[in-house]
């Protein structure tokens, strides 16, 4: 692994998952000025409040193949191993930056 610093100001970033780990990732992305979209069937209350105040875009559903294609950075913060594997394969095939929060 190689640590990296990114200028995320205005960059489209995708977070898959709506739990506590996703919440931490979203807050950090927003603090860096990223344009954040969350795909998850449900959200923590703080994420719900961010969606309601239009600080992030929420798509209330599960991941679908191709969701990652429009984004600069993808963060997979779901405990669904099948989704993690699918997103990893898709992101690698497209040369996308990816962080999987699995361990």
| Residue 2 clears pLDDT 90, i.e. is over it | no
Largest CA distance in the chain: 36
Q: Which residue has the higher pLDDT, 28 or 79?
A: 28
Q: Is the dihedral of CA 32, 77, 16, 72 positive or negative?
A: positive
User: What are 15-26's pLDDT values in tens digits?
Assistant: 999 999 999 999
Task: Please calculate the CA angle 57-38-27 and round it to the nearest 5 degrees.
Answer: 90
Q: Give the DSSP H or E segment for 73.
A: strand 73-76
Domains of the chain with CATH codes: 14-100 (3.40.50.720)
pTM of the predicted protein model: 0.95
pLDDT of residue 4: 87
97: left (phi over 0), alpha (psi -120 to 50) or beta: beta
User: What are 18-58's pLDDT values in tens digits?
Assistant: 999 999 999 999 999 999 999 999 999 999 999 999 999 99
pLDDT of residue 102: 75
Number of Cβ atoms within 10 Å of the Cβ of 48: 13
Band (pLDDT 50/70/90 cuts) for residue 103 is: low
Averaged pLDDT score across all residues of the chain: 95
């Amino acid at each position: 692994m190689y640590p990296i610093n990114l200028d995320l100001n205005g960059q489209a970033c995708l977070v898959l998952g709506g739990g506590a780990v996703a919440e931490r990732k979203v807050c950090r992305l927003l603090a860096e000025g990223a344009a954040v979209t969350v795909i998850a069937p449900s959200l923590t209350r703080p994420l719900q409040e961010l969606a309601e105040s239009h600080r992030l875009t929420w798509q209330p559903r599960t991941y679908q193949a191709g969701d990652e294609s429009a984004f600069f950075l993808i963060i997979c913060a779901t405990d669904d191993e099948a989704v993690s594997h699918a997103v990893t394969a898709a992101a690698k095939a497209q040369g996308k930056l990816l962080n999987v929060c699995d361990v």
